[in-house]
Amino acid sequence: MSKAKEKHKILIIDDEKALLEMFETKFKKEGFAIHIETNGLSGLTKASKIKPDLILLDIMMPGIDGVETLKAFKKCTSLNTKIVIFSNLSETSDNIKDAMELGADEYLLKANFTPGEIVEHVKKLIKEEKK
């Protein structure tokens, strides 16, 4: 019995529900298994359960913000995944600088990319990871 090709798992953690729905639709259309969470704490819990291939993480969220969430991810030794900061904060923001220093793999400014471009970028990052 052959195992079906496993879909790449993407976890998006962002508090903007309309944005989450749009990206969920776009990633699913491209064959990804998408998981969405609206805050850092639920994102941490979900990530430990599903072990995503890549996490798109917003910085500005209520409760535990993206920087604190990133710190917690980096302390979790069982989680080896790419984490991409996905925000509308400018690159000069201290939060973005902190996130990159904490080990985020990349930073994408939401306003500079279409949903399709984000999906293509994620595909490229996952392909690089699998080499």
Section 107-116 average pLDDT:
88
- Please tell me the predicted confidence (pLDDT) of residue 91: 67
Q: How far apart are CA 62 and CA 102, in angstroms?
A: 20
DSSP 112: G
Section 91-108 average pLDDT:
82
Tens of pLDDT along 64-81? 889 899 999 888 767 788
Mean of the per-residue pLDDT values of the chain: 87
Section 6-24 average pLDDT:
92
Section 121-128 average pLDDT:
88
Sorted by sequence, the CB contacts under 8 Å of residue 58 that are 6+ apart come out as: 13, 14, 15, 16, 66, 85, 86, 87
Amino acid symbol at 31: G
- Please tell me the predicted confidence (pLDDT) of residue 127: 83
Whether the predicted pLDDT of 24 surpasses 90: yes
CATH code given to domain 11-130: 3.40.50.2300
Amino acid symbol at 35: H
Burial of 110 (0-12, 13-18, 19+ CB in 10 A): middle
Q: What phi, psi does 65 have (nearest 5°)? A: -80, 180
Q: What is the pTM (predicted TM-score) of this model?
A: 0.88
Whether the predicted pLDDT of 14 surpasses 80: yes
The confidence band for 2, taking pLDDT boundaries of 50, 70 and 90, is very low
Amino acid symbol at 126: I
The ranges assigned to domains in the chain are 11-130
